[in-house]
Amino acid sequence: MQKKIVSLGALALASLFAQMAQAASEESITGYLDTYYEYNFNHPLPRHASVPVTTDPNSATYKGFTQGGTQLRNFDVQDNQFTLASAEITYKRTIENLSLKVDLDTGDNTDMMHSSSSGVDETSKHIGQAIVSYTPSSLKSLTFNFGKMLSHIGWEGAKAKDNWNYSRSLLYAFAGPYWHNGLNLSWTAVQDVFVANFYIYNGWNNRNDTNRGKTLGVQLAYAPGSGLAFVYNGIGGPEQDGNEKNKKIVHDFIATWIANEQLAFSADAIIGSEDKAIVDLANMDKSKAHWSALQMGLKYNLSPAFYLSPRIEAFWDREGYTTGASQSIREATLTTSWKVVPQFEIRMEARQDMSTHKAFIKDGALRDEQATLSLSTLVTL
């Protein structure tokens, strides 16, 4: 489970520059490469093609246009193509109680995660994270973090190498944010047992805020022992342009159990809503949007180099706010992983998506399901 941390910032930096000049430092540069090939049995046109569609495959009357590629995915979207999902270089430096981390990113995932962002340009989007962290000498249970960071919402994370499956769940893709600019206070109340994180963000996936409000977040993580861990993540605040009154709120509940060295389980449930996010043409007003999801998975280590990981989930988009149509979506995934060497991993994955709405394209017509097979390589150096 990835939990992303941020920093104290300008006030702490000024008083620490003198110490930094004389202190011993730890420095590292690492790299990460994520590539994949995916085959979609619906045979959609390429992702960036404008695809005419109809609800009747025998009809010559088309009902509109939609985007090509694999539908209802945000990370593995390219069909029948060799794709660079992510290439990343990470620089880290630690000097006594102060540390710096910068991720430089490129690839399809970088473009997608910043496609609807306020204040992001072609240069800034390639800075995946930029975090300054400070731990006071007299309060080592506290860490202040400041900068651009990945979101704390969700059990899965943005980088496939940190997840059991290659494709991201519907929950991660549509239910919460990907990243933030902001401030985080992390408090380790009891080492290896209870940690609390508090966040102040500009908003969801925004470099620059679009209103005068701030988004607040919290994370409470408790590990009672016997391999069990429970996490509550919450986030809420105004996200609409020029409006501080209407709130967007997400509650995220995570449970994991490491049964033994071979077997682990995970479950993630999320509930989200946003005030006056849906246009009600009948009443010439706006109504509240609601969405929720439940995801469950397990990981079984066949050996130190091989594992299997099935995942099932359901996503409910009542008003169609997060996925574009009112629908219930279900998916089942099976991932196999082989670590050729510790730094080089190959994954094969089969996934089936099903919806109560005709959300997928096959031969120019809309369908209610799709199936994919993928082969991916993950390199960490």
Domains and CATH numbers, the chain: 10-380 (2.40.160.10)
First to last CA, the chain: 21
Count of helices and strands (H, E) across the chain: 3, 20
Strands 82-95, 142-150: pairing is: unpaired
Least Cα distance to 93 among 138, 146, 45, 28 occurs for: 28
User: What single-letter amino acid sits at 30?
Assistant: T
- pLDDT, tens digit only, all 381 positions of the chain: 444 333 333 333 334 344 444 455 799 999 999 999 999 999 988 766 555 554 444 333 334 445 678 999 999 999 999 999 999 999 999 999 999 999 999 999 999 998 876 666 778 899 999 999 999 999 999 999 999 999 999 999 999 999 999 999 999 999 999 999 999 999 999 999 999 999 999 999 988 888 999 999 999 999 999 999 999 999 999 999 999 999 999 999 999 999 999 999 999 999 999 999 988 766 667 889 999 999 999 999 999 999 999 999 999 999 999 998 999 999 999 999 999 999 999 999 999 999 999 989 887 788 999 999 999 999 999
DSSP for 195-223, please give it. EEEEEEES-SS-SS-SSS--EEEEEEEEE
Q: What's the pTM?
A: 0.86
What is the distance between the alpha carbons of residues 7 and 132, in angstroms, rounded to a whole number?
Answer: 5
SS3 341: strand
pLDDT in tens, 286-344: 889 999 999 999 999 999 999 999 999 999 999 999 998 999 999 999 999 999 999 99
1 close to 155: Cβ distance less than 8 angstroms: yes
pLDDT in tens, 180-205: 999 999 999 999 999 999 999 999 99
What is the distance between the alpha carbons of residues 350 and 244, in angstroms, rounded to a whole number?
Answer: 43
